[in-house]
C-alpha cells in the first residue's frame, strides 16, 4: 500500500486517561465554538485522514499553500485547513494558551495556540478557488469567515456525533482491512452523487489494473442541487451488493464538506485517499468542480505539477451510453454520432424523477428505484 503522506499517520486522539483529566479542567480553559463541519475536520486531523497535518496551519504554511500548493517543507498540499476567530476573540487569547474547541456545546478538542495572524479573504478566494465570485460556494464561505486565523496542534477529546458513524473507517483501519484482503494496490473513488452506469464503468475499468477499489463518498455540507448524503450512501450500498464482487470493493465515508475547489481539491482528495492506503486515484472530468469556473480537464492537468505526490492518478474522459455500440463508451472508443448517445448528466436524473422512470442505459434499476422513492432527493 501507499506510504502515508509525509511518511506517517498522524494520531492526535487523546488516550482515555488523558481525556478524563482534561474533562476535569474544561471549565478553566478559554473556549472557541466551531461549526459541525469544522468539528468533523478536527476529527479527520486527529485520526490521520489529513496527515501530515497535526492541527490548523500556521502563517508560513498558509502562504506556501496559496502560492506554491505545498507546505513550507515542500510537501504537496493544496487546501489550507483554517480556524478563523474574530478580533474580539483574539484579544482574550494568548500564544501558548490551551483552548477548548466546542461544537454544539460539546467539547471536541484542545488546541495549543501557536500563532494568530491576519489574512486576505480576496487572496484566499483567488488562489484556492480561482475566483472572487460570491456565487461560488467556496468563495461564499470564505467571505463569511472572521478576521483572524489561529494555528496550533490539536488533541481530540471526543468524536463529534454523527448519524453515519457505522460507515466510518480511519486510515489505520482501512490499511488493516486492505492488508487482510491481500490488496497491494487499491484505487480510490471520490463521489458526492448517486451512481449511474458511467460511474460504474469507470470504477470497474480501474479495477482491472488493481487488487481492490475503495469507494469513499463525501458526507457533509454540499451545495444546493447535490444528492442528499443518505441517498448517496443507500444507492452505493445497493450497487455494490448487486453488481460488485464482495472481495474487491470496500465502501466507507469521508465526513467532510465539499469545497468545490476544482483542480486543487482533486489533489487534496488524492492525498486523503493515499492516507487511507490507496495506491491509485480516479480523476474524472471536472473533478470537484462547480458551474463553469474550471476548464473540463483542469483537475487532471494539475497532477503534472506533482510528480512527488505518491499516488497514481487514473484519468478518465467523459462517458456516455451509445445505443449503436450497445454499451458505455467515450470519445476515444465510439465512432458514432451524438444522435446515438445518452449523456450522464444531472439534468437527466431530474427528468427521470419527473417522469417517474429510469432509462436502463443510464442507471441500474435497483439504484433508480431508490432515487424514485425519495420525494426530495436533492439538497435544497
Annotated active-site positions, please?
192-193
- Is residue 58 within 8 A of residue 270, CB to CB? The reply is no
Strand-strand pairing, 212-219 and 83-85:
unpaired
Distant-in-sequence, close-in-space partners of 256: CB < 8 Å, separation ≥ 6: 37, 40, 41, 44, 218, 219, 220
- Cα separation, 113 vs 273, in Å, equals 29
Angle, helix 263-276 to helix 171-180, in steps of 10 degrees: 60
First to last CA, the chain: 39
- Cα separation, 151 vs 143, in Å, equals 20
Grid coordinates standing for 354? 419527473
Grid coordinates standing for 202? 469507470
- Cα separation, 25 vs 80, in Å, equals 31
| Residue 296: C-alpha distances to residues 79, 284, 293 (Å) | 20, 9, 9
- Cα separation, 367 vs 314, in Å, equals 25
- Cα separation, 22 vs 1, in Å, equals 36
Q: Where are the beta strands (DSSP E) in 16-59?
A: 31-33, 55-56
Q: Residue 249's beta-bridge partner residues?
A: 213
Q: Which three-class secondary structure state does DSSP give residue 52?
A: coil
Grid coordinates standing for 271? 492525498
Backbone angles phi, psi at 195, to 5 degrees: -85, 135
User: Which of 345, 321, 342, 344 has its CA nearest to residue 333?
Assistant: 321
Q: Residue 31's beta-bridge partner residues?
A: 100
- Cα separation, 129 vs 91, in Å, equals 30
- Is residue 159 within 8 A of residue 64, CB to CB? The reply is no
Amino acid at each position: 500500500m501507499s506510504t502515508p503522506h509525509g511518511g506517517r499517520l498522524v494520531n492526535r486522539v487523546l488516550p482515555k486517561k488523558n481525556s478524563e483529566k482534561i474533562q476535569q479542567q474544561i471549565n478553566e480553559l478559554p473556549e472557541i465554538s466551531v461549526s459541525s463541519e469544522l468539528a468533523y475536520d478536527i476529527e479527520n486531523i486527529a485520526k490521520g485522514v489529513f496527515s501530515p497535518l497535526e492541527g490548523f496551519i500556521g502563517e508560513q504554511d498558509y502562504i506556501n499553500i496559496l502560492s506554491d500548493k505545498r507546505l513550507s517543507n515542500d510537501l504537496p498540499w493544496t487546501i489550507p485547513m483554517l480556524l478563523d476567530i474574530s478580533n474580539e476573540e483574539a484579544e482574550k487569547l494568548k500564544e501558548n494558551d490551551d483552548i477548548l474547541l466546542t461544537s454544539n456545546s460539546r467539547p471536541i478538542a484542545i488546541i495549543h495556540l501557536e500563532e494568530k495572524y491576519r489574512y486576505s479573504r480576496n487572496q484566499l478566494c483567488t488562489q484556492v478557488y480561482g475566483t472572487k465570485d460570491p456565487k461560488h460556494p467556496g468563495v461564499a464561505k470564505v467571505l463569511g469567515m472572521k478576521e483572524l486565523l489561529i494555528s496550533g496542534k490539536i488533541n481530540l477529546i471526543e468524536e463529534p456525533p454523527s448519524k453515519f458513524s457505522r460507515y466510518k473507517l480511519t486510515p489505520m483501519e482501512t490499511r488493516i482491512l486492505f492488508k487482510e484482503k491481500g490488496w497491494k494496490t487499491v484505487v480510490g473513488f471520490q463521489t458526492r452523487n448517486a451512481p449511474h452506469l458511467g460511474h460504474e464503468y469507470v470504477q470497474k475499468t480501474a479495477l482491472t489494473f488493481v487488487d481492490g477499489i475503495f469507494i469513499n463518498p463525501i458526507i457533509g455540507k454540499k451545495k444546493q442541487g447535490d444528492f442528499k448524503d443518505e441517498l448517496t450512501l443507500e444507492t452505493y450500498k445497493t450497487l455494490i451488493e448487486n453488481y460488485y464482487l464482495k472481495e474487491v470493493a470496500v465502501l466507507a465515508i469521508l465526513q467532510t464538506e465539499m469545497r468545490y475547489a476544482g483542480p486543487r481539491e482533486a489533489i487534496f482528495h488524492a492525498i486523503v485517499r493515499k492516507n487511507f492506503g490507496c495506491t491509485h486515484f480516479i480523476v474524472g472530468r471536472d473533478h470537484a468542480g462547480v458551474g463553469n469556473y474550471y476548464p473540463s480537464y483542469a483537475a487532471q492537468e494539475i497532477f503534472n505539477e506533482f510528480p512527488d505526490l505518491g499516488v497514481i492518478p487514473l484519468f478518465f474522459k467523459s462517458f456516455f451510453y451509445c445505443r449503436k455500440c450497445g454499451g458505455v463508451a467515450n470519445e476515444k472508443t465510439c465512432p458514432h454520432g451524438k444522435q446515438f448517445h445518452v449523456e450522464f448528466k444531472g439534468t437527466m436524473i431530474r427528468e427521470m424523477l419527473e417522469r417517474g422512470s429510469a432509462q436502463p442505459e443510464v442507471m441500474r434499476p435497483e439504484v433508480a428505484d431508490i432515487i424514485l422513492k425519495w420525494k426530495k432527493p436533492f439538497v435544497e
